[in-house]
Amino acid sequence: MGSDDESDSGSIDVIIDYEDSQPATPPMEQPNVVGAAAAQAPIISSYNDKIRPLLDVIDRLRLLMVMKEGIQLPTIVVVGDQSSGKSSVLESLAGVNLPRSQGICTRVPLIIKLQNHARPRPELYLEYNGKMVPVEEPQIATAINIATDEIAGPGKSISDIPLTLVVRKDGVPDLTMVDLPGITRVPVHGQPDNIYEQIRDIIMQYITPKESIILNVLSATVDFSTCESIRMSQQVDKNGERTLAVVTKVDRAPEGLVDKVTADDVNIGLGYVCVRNRIGDESYEEARKEEARLFETNAHLSCIDKSIVGVHVLAQKLVRIQANEIAKCLPEIVKNISAKLEANVSELEKMPKALTSDADATQAMMRIIQAAKESLKKLLWRGEFDEYPEDNTKHGTALFVEMLNRFSDELHNCEESNLSKDFLTEEIKGLEDAKGIELPNFLPFEAFLHYIDDVVMSVLTRHWEMYYHVKVFAKGAAHNLVQKLREQSINRVKEIVEMEKLTGYTCNPDYMMEWNKLMKEQDHFINQISGTNMGPLPCRVNLQGFGEIQVEHLRQHSNVSILQQAFALKMRMVAYWKIFKVRLVDSMALHLQYHVHNLVHNDIDEIMKELMGPDGHGIKMMLVESPAIVAKREKLKNSIKVLKESKDSVAKVMDRIVVYDAYLV
């Protein structure tokens, strides 16, 4: 049994017992097994049937293109620099001839599905562009080239559209691999100048997901650290935890190879496997025998541990790594498919159904208007922000209080509230000209009404999003409604100010209390200006509630009676201004709340009437769906279909998988 941590991971553990299926061999006899038995036996042993169900479900999901739904699948991705020997390695594993040529052989991602089938005649076919093409084994390379030309075009250009090769053959390992174009930096004739960037982008697309297993093909003839494929894989797998290296062309550079694979200067976490490439017209059986002989007899290669040499070892490692990765990822894949399916079904249900009659359109319009009214009531009246929890700019009632407080502060800090500036000058001028004292003309509604406009537009846009043609008219109708409210509010404030300018009146007892308190300073102040007290005349006078006041400019007025009247008038204005500021803010608050209440409870219905129109043009517009909505609905339907099939496929195969609680051999 595994540890608690392993049990909690939810991974599926599968018996991987290829070692148990082989005859027990004393360690000293191991070289003979490699040299003889391994060369004669099928590339992979009978444990394929325990891995096949796992691979079947992943292949089925890949065929359904579930990766387009954001579901990542465990994938062996084969990368390597150009002429590194990738094709030879894949040929040895598949037992079939792949295209060979100078330059880039692989111009599209080639998905190779190997399936071990005990039948006398191999079964091979290609899948691309929605069709399945059976192929005879001798013609496989030609058929791949023809399919590649159809996908990527003739010539030497590349494409990221995959081509699938299925090989059902006795003795092949149960593997699915993706062979990618070999990396080249210098474009040859017929290739685009950015061929390196195109290849790099395709490779990074496949090796970046953490579920990908990177099979990095390296030539023994080069310094591994200089290989472009190593540099790319290290970008996404820095510690090499999901990278396996296969070293080719060992017969060309055997000297020092044992040091290169044991030193591991390039962080290959899953280890190395050294293989010999098939040469010329050798059969695959002959190539395996020659490979075994080479690692037995070559003075340099025979020093390499036999557990990391040979195509048969590579096949076993790949099958084991692939099976373990699938078993580890499958529960998460199931979870992701279910979550994505649930999300897409929910999103499709939220989309409006295509309307086919005037009655349906009318009902839909009424539902949307009612939903918009409810949203506006929450934001502007009840102070409920669940529909916009993170967007503070839509929190209407809170912003309403904030704006009124800010306006109140502006009133207290405005020019007219500076009590000591040019003290009594305006009052004296008013008395001499026999004019009334004007109050400041504040119009504080604009900011709040602009905000109301924004909120109404945002809410209506959200609720009408699925009906683009109507949304434009709805926004226009809403703007007209808010503009009407703006005009009413501005007229109301102007009326308040004009009334205050016409005559100042208040029955607030605080007014007389404040005025009497201020008037207690009058005699002292007048004496300081007129010089009735002995001593030098001061330039400034300290007045309670005002601070220090400049008084030099007042001595030009010899009429003490005018100064007294001006002081009394100033104190009345100061006391009244204090009352007026509070009254103006309160009046504005009541007025705004009254109109907001009417807006969210009654006036919003005006939008419905305007949309309907006398000729019912709004209803006709609702019957015409936006192309974007139609496309989105179809995309969701197709996605749901794929995800349901994927979920069913996984469920069927899961029943065939041998599951252990947390046990892995």
Query: In this predicted structure, what is the pLDDT of residue 27?
Result: 35
Contact 304, 271 (CB under 8 A): no
How far lies 427's CA from each of 266, 414, 503, 565, in Å? 90, 18, 16, 9
Per-residue pLDDT band for 76 (boundaries 50, 70, 90) equals very high
Q: Is pLDDT larger for residue 45 or for residue 155?
A: 155
* Amino acid code (one letter) for 501: K
Q: Is pLDDT larger for residue 583 or for residue 644?
A: 644
DSSP 444-473: THHHHHHHHHHHHHHHHHHHTTT-HHHHHH
Query: In this predicted structure, what is the pLDDT of residue 289?
Result: 92
Check whether 540 has a pLDDT greater than 60: yes
Contact 136, 187 (CB under 8 A): no
Check whether 28 has a pLDDT greater than 50: no
- Rounded CA separation 555/536 (Å): 13
Q: Which two tokens stand for residue 148?
A: 């590649």
Contact 153, 190 (CB under 8 A): no
Check whether 42 has a pLDDT greater than 60: no
Per-residue pLDDT band for 232 (boundaries 50, 70, 90) equals very high
Query: In this predicted structure, what is the pLDDT of residue 4?
Result: 38
pTM: 0.60
Q: Report helix, strand or coil for 132.
A: strand
Q: Among 405, 414, 461, 460, which residue's Cα sits nearest to residue 439?
A: 414
Of 98-102, 267-271, 278-282, 354-358, which has the strongest mean pLDDT?
Answer: 267-271
Number of residues assigned to the chain: 665
Q: Which two tokens stand for residue 443?
A: 């119009």
- Rounded CA separation 126/165 (Å): 5
**pLDDT tens digits, one per residue of 447-478:** 556 656 666 667 666 766 666 666 666 667 77
In this structure, the number of other CB atoms found within 10 A of the CB of residue 650 comes to 19
Chain-wide mean pLDDT for the chain? 76
CA dihedral 131, 126, 319, 21 (to 10 degrees): 110
Q: Which two tokens stand for residue 209?
A: 């997901």
Q: Is pLDDT larger for residue 574 or for residue 432?
A: 574
Overall average pLDDT of the 94-113 stretch: 83
Q: Which two tokens stand for residue 102?
A: 């100078």
Of 393-397, 526-530, 574-578, where does mean pLDDT reach its minimum? 393-397
Cα angle at 34 between 33 and 36, to 5 degrees? 65
Cα angle at 511 between 506 and 516, to 5 degrees? 140
Query: In this predicted structure, what is the pLDDT of residue 464?
Result: 66
Q: Among 247, 248, 231, 242, which residue's Cα sits nearest to residue 270?
A: 242
- Rounded CA separation 587/595 (Å): 12
Per-residue pLDDT band for 562 (boundaries 50, 70, 90) equals confident
Overall average pLDDT of the 81-101 stretch: 87
Per-residue pLDDT band for 193 (boundaries 50, 70, 90) equals confident
CA dihedral 56, 58, 60, 66 (to 10 degrees): 170
- Rounded CA separation 102/98 (Å): 13
Q: Give 410's Cβ-side CA count (13 Å radius).
A: 13
Phi, psi angles (nearest 5°) of residue 441: -100, 90
Check whether 291 has a pLDDT greater than 50: yes
Query: In this predicted structure, what is the pLDDT of residue 303?
Result: 92
- Rounded CA separation 549/447 (Å): 36
In this structure, the number of other CB atoms found within 10 A of the CB of residue 276 comes to 27
Which residue's structure tokens are 């190997």?
A: 114
Q: Among 373, 523, 535, which residue's Cα sits nearest to residue 463?
A: 373
Query: In this predicted structure, what is the pLDDT of residue 60?
Result: 84
- Rounded CA separation 182/202 (Å): 11
DSSP 409-446: HHHHHSGGG-TTTTTTHHHHHHHHHT-PPPPP---THH
**pLDDT tens digits, one per residue of 399-424:** 666 666 666 666 556 555 455 555 55
In this structure, the number of other CB atoms found within 10 A of the CB of residue 150 comes to 15
Query: In this predicted structure, what is the pLDDT of residue 68?
Result: 84
In this structure, the number of other CB atoms found within 10 A of the CB of residue 51 comes to 26
Query: In this predicted structure, what is the pLDDT of residue 361?
Result: 74
Q: Which two tokens stand for residue 482?
A: 């808010």
Check whether 235 has a pLDDT greater than 60: yes
- Rounded CA separation 82/185 (Å): 9
Beta partners for 218? 247
How far lies 591's CA from each of 130, 581, 585, 630, in Å? 67, 15, 10, 45
Q: Among 374, 333, 357, which residue's Cα sits nearest to residue 60?
A: 333
- Rounded CA separation 573/563 (Å): 15
Q: Is pLDDT larger for residue 236 or for residue 462?
A: 236
How far lies 62's CA from each of 55, 339, 515, 596, 636, in Å? 10, 18, 86, 56, 19
Q: Among 186, 266, 193, which residue's Cα sits nearest to residue 232?
A: 266
Q: Is pLDDT larger for residue 429 or for residue 386?
A: 386
